[in-house]
């Protein structure tokens, strides 16, 4: 059993003893702690939104969370089966004090999580998250008396989400409709099975081939949208039956794209391609995290903008985007954040903008991919012993490479002329993650091995 407590929320495997897994007692404790933190932050706002993905434990967790919030005196707007970005938009749509998303994202079926949002529909910042954890540790909360109990209403926010995407000026429904795309989708039997067909139909796609679109939580393959898990849709594309394939994770904040020939577009390039489209029409700055491809920086500078790198984590990307007034940003795992809609990774926004870009260029997906800078990322790890002094290692690496461009905002990233290496301690495992990028995979591996050998 596992229970991982972090500033962005609580995740764990379902069941087990108290404190060892995500069980009803711990769900109540952390939900009550979150409600207490929100009450202190916004004492006059009495509404919290709850949405969930379709995983098997979702209904159980949903009922406990909603009941606890009502027990804390909050009115709950339960939007039921909903994507993470839909829930984020619902928070601002309801002018709520915050929201809880019940999803373990790309983790397997035994996992679930409580992802915690502020009143802007964005993840709690570091201070807010630590406060929730401290309240839960002390069990410093008090439940409402009978006359002060909250109430629950149920709403469907998917139509609102689709409406917000259609309002975006750079979503060109007419151009998409004229291209008459055939689109294949794999929604891993979660809420994408509801949301992705809805957005495709709304932007003018009539021909949709649906794989794994029944939102029953029975994942047909590993739910993380990585190439080794996407063989079914890849084979379908190879047969020539569709122009493009889209794959999402269970909560629909990550988007993977498959070319018309069955080849992977590359999860790093979801954001790069959408940014290229945005920057053609809206010059400005961009942001991604430090472990994302250099291609975004290249594309941004080609359009006359400035690129900034944030620490890893969506909350850090969003903070940096606000600081530099970025017009587009996100993460290299297929996460597109477009402020014109909202500050959250959103696969619906990503699909609508990508199809608009593809329609305007009048290209095949594989041809579009070849217009972008080409890099390869190698992902490695160093296993740690209990007595390993990670901070000392990172300080030493920084000293050894002081003549290169070094960024120590999140671990240590070394920018060489022909590539980069990023080392950071994992928050969930006793390892150092070592990501590297270069023009070829051989060169990327060589860069990583060079730094790992020093360590």
Report, as residue numbers or ranges, the catalytic residues: 105
Confidence at residue 76, expressed as pLDDT on a 0 to 100 scale: 98
Confidence at residue 361, expressed as pLDDT on a 0 to 100 scale: 95
Is the pTM for the entire model greater than 0.85? yes
- Report residue 368 as tokens: 């579009």
- Measured CA to CA in angstroms, residue 243 lies from 10, 184, 236, 259, 276 at distances of 39, 8, 11, 7, 20
CA distance linking residue 430 with residue 426, whole number of Å: 7
CA distance linking residue 55 with residue 33, whole number of Å: 24
- Report residue 363 as tokens: 């290209």
| Torsion sign across C-alpha atoms 110, 116, 120, 122 | negative
Confidence at residue 230, expressed as pLDDT on a 0 to 100 scale: 96
- What letters, b where the CB count within 10 A reaches 16 and e where it falls short, cover 223-240? bbbeeebbeebbebbeee
Confidence at residue 389, expressed as pLDDT on a 0 to 100 scale: 84
Residues near 161 by Cβ (< 8 Å), separated by ≥ 6? 83, 85, 86, 89, 195, 348
User: Listing from the earlier edge strand, what are the strands of the sheet with 431-438?
Assistant: 376-383, 431-438, 419-425, 412-416, 405-407
Name the band, by pLDDT with cuts 50, 70 and 90, for residue 3: confident
| Count of CB atoms situated within 10 Å of the CB of 389 | 10
DSSP assignment string, 24-53: HHHHHHHHHHHHHHHHHH-TT--EEEEEE-
Confidence at residue 378, expressed as pLDDT on a 0 to 100 scale: 93
Name the band, by pLDDT with cuts 50, 70 and 90, for residue 383: confident
Q: Supply angle C-alpha 387, 434, 320, rounded to 5.
A: 105
Task: For residues 306-327, give the mean pLDDT.
Answer: 96
- What letters, b where the CB count within 10 A reaches 16 and e where it falls short, cover 117-137? bbbebbbbbeebbebbbebbe
Confidence at residue 1, expressed as pLDDT on a 0 to 100 scale: 64
Rg (CA), the chain: 22
Span 359-379, pLDDT tens digits: 999 899 999 999 999 999 998
- Report residue 93 as tokens: 């749509």
């Amino acid at each position: 059993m596992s229970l991982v407590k972090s500033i962005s929320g609580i995740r764990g495997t379902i069941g087990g003893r108290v404190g060892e897994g995500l069980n009803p007692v711990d769900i109540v404790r952390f939900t009550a702690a979150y409600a207490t933190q929100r009450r202190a932050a916004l004492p006059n706002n009495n509404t919290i939104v709850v949405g969930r993905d379709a995983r098997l434990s979702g209904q159980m967790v949903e009922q406990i969370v909603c009941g606890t919030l009502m027990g804390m005196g909050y009115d709950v707007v339960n939007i039921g089966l909903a994507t993470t970005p839909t829930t984020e938009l619902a928070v601002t749509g309801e002018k709520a004090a915050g929201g809880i998303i019940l999803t373990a994202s790309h983790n397997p079926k035994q996992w679930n999580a409580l992802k915690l949002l502020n009143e802007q529909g964005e993840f709690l910042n570091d201070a807010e998250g630590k406060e929730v954890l401290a309240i839960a540790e002390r069990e410093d909360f008090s439940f409402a008396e009978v006359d002060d109990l909250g109430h629950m209403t149920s709403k469907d926010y998917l139509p609102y989400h689709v409406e917000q995407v259609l309002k975006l000026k750079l979503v060109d429904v007419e151009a998409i409709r004229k291209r008459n795309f055939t689109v294949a989708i794999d929604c891993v039997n979660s809420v994408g099975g509801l949301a992705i067909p809805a957005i495709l139909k709304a932007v003018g796609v009539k021909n949709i081939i649906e794989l794994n679109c029944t939102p029953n939580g029975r994942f047909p393959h590993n739910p993380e949208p990585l190439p080794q898990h996407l063989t079914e849709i890849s084979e379908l594309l190879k047969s020539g039956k569709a122009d493009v394939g889209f794959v999402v994770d269970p909560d629909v904040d990550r988007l993977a794209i498959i070319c018309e020939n069955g080849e992977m577009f590359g999860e790093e390039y979801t954001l790069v391609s959408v940014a290229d489209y945005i920057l053609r029409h809206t010059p400005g700055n961009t942001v991604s995290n430090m472990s994302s491809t250099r291609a975004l920086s290249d594309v941004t500078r080609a359009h006359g903008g400035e690129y900034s790198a944030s620490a890893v984590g969506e909350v850090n990307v969003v903070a940096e985007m606000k600081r530099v007034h970025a017009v587009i940003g996100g993460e290299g795992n297929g996460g597109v954040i477009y402020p014109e809609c909202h500050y959250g990774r959103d696969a619906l926004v990503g699909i609508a903008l990508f199809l608009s870009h593809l329609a305007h260029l009048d290209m095949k997906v594989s041809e579009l991919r070849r217009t972008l800078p080409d890099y390869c990322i190698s992902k490695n790890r160093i296993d740690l012993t209990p007595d390993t002094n990670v901070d000392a290692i990172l300080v030493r690496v920084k000293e050894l490479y002081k003549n290169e461009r070094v960024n120590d905002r999140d671990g240590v990233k070394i920018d060489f002329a022909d590539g980069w290496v990023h080392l950071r301690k994992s928050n969930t495992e006793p390892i150092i993650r070592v990501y590297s990028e270069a023009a070829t995979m051989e060169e990327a591996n060589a860069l990583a091995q060079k730094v790992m050998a020093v360590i």
